[in-house]
Amino acid sequence: MMDYLYKIINATTRSISPENPTGESGGGGRCPLEEGSARNAARDLGTGWKVNPYYVVEPKTTVTLADIAGSGVINHIWCTPTKRWRNVILRFYWDGQENPSVECPLGDFFCMGWNEYAQISSLAVCVNPGSAFNCYWQMPFKSRCRITLENIAEESMKIYYQIDYTLQELPDEIAYFHAQFRRVNPLPYKEIYTILDGVEGRGQYVGTYMAWGVNNCRWWGEGEIKFYMDDDEEYPTICGTGTEDYFCGSYNFEDPVTHARYVPFSTPYTGLQVITPDVLYKSQFRFGMYRWHITDPIRFEKKLRVTIQALGWREGGRYLPLQDDIASVAFWYQTLPTVKFPRLPDKDYLEVI
């Protein structure tokens, strides 16, 4: 990944933040003192001295984080939000499309579905102390990129953020970054959980994040993930062998020495977060899992559907269809246009409870 750093290419770096909301050349740090979000802290210093480092987003309002004209690539996004991360909705629109290609609660987009900090060190997403969210997915656009943030809560929140991108020419054929959130709580008995459906176009599936809340005792991850590609109907082309297997673990993610606990891990391509219940008012284990298909993208020509079973064990050595709290984010690249996503659940249904 570092072998291009010595090359001179025809690209110009820009960065958008509250201190330079347009990303324009020489546009940083210009906010007048009286208009800044930190004007009280900077009152003795004036313009140029960290006057406007964050935005306040009022309840039930949407703000534009970026509106970039031209051709380019987003290379990195950093942010740190306050309040509950499920109450903040990110949307990305490419090349003037009406429908967003990304629509997702901010926390889940950065693999933080349980509104609790859990450190991640991966190639695509890093989450660092205290609540620093970083995304390294490359996101190209040919004529326009618009990113919005909606606060669906009853109280205001703050967002510190920076979007780093390059302005550059792109090849004629590109695939656009997409991310879609879903949540079912609880999963109805004997139903299959759908991670992604309705995709139309050509592209490649590049990642899965799941926030899985377990409502039963014993092991919960026997279910298989399935990728129905192009002309697949009843049976998929790609069929996994178990939930922990898909997320590149094995044997219940358990400690192979003591067999008494789960072992969280974070690697460049896969990881497991364990939110334990041994705290007042917490009733069950909750897990976060990510799998990035960076070296093994799942390529499709015209359609894609992704599902996963929720299976545990019942007496007699039989599978138990689980009724768990499951949320997910599917990450993929495809050609435009983007098919309209299913309607995002309301605030009460999104809530981590």
pLDDT digits (tens, 9 = 90+) for 73-96: 999 999 999 999 999 999 999 999
Q: Are 39 and 51 in contact (CB under 8 A)?
A: yes
pLDDT on residue 346 = 96
Asked whether residue 27 is assigned to any structural domain, the reply reads no
Confidence at 72, pLDDT banded by 50, 70, 90: very high
pLDDT digits (tens, 9 = 90+) for 188-208: 999 999 999 999 999 999 999
pLDDT on residue 282 = 85
Parallel/antiparallel/unpaired status of strands 176-184 and 102-105: parallel
Structural domains in the chain (count): 2
Q: For residue 315, is pLDDT > 80?
A: yes
Asked whether residue 279 is assigned to any structural domain, the reply reads yes
CA distances from 326 to 31, 142, 197, 213, 269 (A): 43, 35, 16, 6, 21
Q: In this predicted structure, which of 40-44, 128-132, 274-278, 328-332 has the lowest mean pLDDT?
A: 274-278
Model-wide pTM > 0.95: yes
In this structure, the answer to whether residues 139 and 226 fall within a common structural domain is no
Asked whether residue 1 is assigned to any structural domain, the reply reads no
Where a domain ends, among 173, 204, 228?
Answer: 173
pLDDT digits (tens, 9 = 90+) for 148-190: 999 999 999 999 999 999 999 999 999 999 999 999 999 999 9
In this structure, the answer to whether residues 135 and 190 fall within a common structural domain is no
Overall average pLDDT of the 129-151 stretch: 98
In this structure, the answer to whether residues 228 and 329 fall within a common structural domain is yes
Q: For the chain, what is the mean pLDDT?
A: 96
CATH code (residue 201)? 2.60.120.1390
Asked whether residue 121 is assigned to any structural domain, the reply reads yes
Overall average pLDDT of the 102-124 stretch: 97
Where a domain ends, among 104, 139, 173?
Answer: 173
| Six-digit token string for 14 | 């820009």
Confidence at 278, pLDDT banded by 50, 70, 90: confident
Asked whether residue 235 is assigned to any structural domain, the reply reads yes
pLDDT digits (tens, 9 = 90+) for 23-37: 999 999 999 999 999
| Six-digit token string for 220 | 């919960």
The Cα–Cα gap between 310 and 319 comes to 10
Asked whether residue 39 is assigned to any structural domain, the reply reads no
In this structure, the answer to whether residues 86 and 104 fall within a common structural domain is yes
Q: For residue 1, is pLDDT > 80?
A: no
In this structure, the answer to whether residues 209 and 336 fall within a common structural domain is yes
Overall average pLDDT of the 278-303 stretch: 94
| Six-digit token string for 32 | 């007048």
Confidence at 2, pLDDT banded by 50, 70, 90: confident
Asked whether residue 49 is assigned to any structural domain, the reply reads no
Q: Are 161 and 77 in contact (CB under 8 A)?
A: yes
In this structure, the answer to whether residues 165 and 223 fall within a common structural domain is no
The Cα–Cα gap between 99 and 92 comes to 9
In this structure, the answer to whether residues 320 and 192 fall within a common structural domain is yes
pLDDT on residue 191 = 98
In this structure, the answer to whether residues 188 and 330 fall within a common structural domain is yes
Residue 209 sits in which domain range? 177-340
pLDDT on residue 252 = 96
In this structure, the answer to whether residues 318 and 193 fall within a common structural domain is yes
In this structure, the answer to whether residues 253 and 300 fall within a common structural domain is yes
In this structure, the answer to whether residues 308 and 324 fall within a common structural domain is yes
CA distances from 104 to 5, 64, 90, 190, 324 (A): 32, 15, 5, 27, 20
Where a domain ends, among 138, 156, 173?
Answer: 173
In this structure, the answer to whether residues 271 and 147 fall within a common structural domain is no
Asked whether residue 297 is assigned to any structural domain, the reply reads yes
